[in-house]
Amino acid sequence: MKFRTDPATIRGSIAPVVTPFTADGAVDHDSLRGLVRWQLESGSHGISLGGSTGEPSAQTVAERIAAMRTAVDEIGDRVPFLPGTGSHKLDETLELTSAARDMGADAALVITPYYARPTQEALYQWYATVAREFPDLPLVAYNVPSRTAVDIAPHTVRRLFTDFDNFVGVKETTKDFEHFSRVLHACGRELLVWSGIELLCLPLLALGGAGFVSAVANLAPTAVARMYELWEAGEFDAARELHYRLHPLVDLLFVETNPAPVKWVLEQQGRITSGHVRPPLVSPSKDALARIRVLLAEGDDLTQQI
């Protein structure tokens, strides 16, 4: 919990690590430990687990907590740890967030409750409940309307940021770039905003964003972290060059539903024992694999960096 007392230090490339499974579908803790170690060696500025790339909705609460514990054991206090602790059920969200707090997470990433399509007032009440329950744990809302069918509005973020000292930021996974600007305009630059959209990671920094939680860090962690560092150093042309060089790997992620493509690649690279994804996801189709191979070849130099 080294970073818990000063969440403003949680910046840069926060890698949203996949949850590896064995070929028969069990959580593969050995592979998870190896992935976290690789991210740290590659220069990622933080680790997240249990966001969309981690297939949380396909796991039990006990599995998610056990995976968080494995990550914490490997990370120690070297970089911030921001586990995803949200669910569509409030009791599960509170249980997961409590576990994250107790095991030393630096902040909790709480997704907007999915499927129910709550109103803005309902979203406020949801996050207010979590904030009151864990006053000493920084909370970050995870806004991903393409998966949840609800969009947390800038004015709702402002209410939460104003009313609760431990509501510190938002991971914005929306392609509406105006939304990023309106959130920062409503709350001020003290609000921590991370991009979860790969091709908006670099542009967000120009608005005063804190960094990004980008799934492409599962393939090219060094390049993604370096892009942030170059921007912060004022080397804008070099940062833009990396942004464009990452395009093929970004496209690879979404040939079919994330994280199936990236898990296939990680298996081929020997970083995990199996590319298994849990239902309702399936492994990439034959046509998808052909496209994945082409894109991987285009971005291969970035996947080899460390």
Q: Which of 230, 228, 234, 233 is nearest to 216 (CA)?
A: 228
Active site residue 175: no
Q: What are phi and psi of 220, to 5 degrees?
A: -135, 65
Q: Is 19 annotated as a binding residue?
A: no
Contact of 84 with 142, CB cutoff 8 Å = yes
Q: Residue 255, annotated ligand binder?
A: no
DSSP notation for 86-144: --SSHHHHHHHHHHHHHHT-S-EEEEPPPSS---HHHHHHHHHHHHHH-TTS-EEEEE-
SS3 letters for 246-273?
Answer: CHHHHHHHCCCCCCHHHHHHHHHCCCCC
Strand pairing report for 108-111 and 81-83: unpaired
Active site residue 142: yes
Helix axes 154-163, 177-187, angle to 10 degrees: 30
> In what order do the strands lie in the sheet containing 211-212?
81-83, 46-49, 12-17, 211-212, 192-195, 167-172, 139-143, 108-111
One of 142, 228, 263, 286 is an active-site residue; which one?
142
Local structure of 168: helix, strand or coil: strand
Alpha-carbon dihedral 279, 283, 287, 290, rounded to 10 degrees: 160
Catalytic site residue from 2, 89, 127, 171: 171
Residue matched to tokens 């994330």: 258
Cα dihedral value 257, 261, 264, 269, nearest 10: -150
Number of Cβ atoms within 10 Å of the Cβ of 246: 24
Residue 20 has a CB neighbour count (10 Å cut-off) of 27
Q: Catalytic residue numbers?
A: 142, 171
Binding-site members are: 53, 213
Annotated binding site for pyruvate: 53, 213
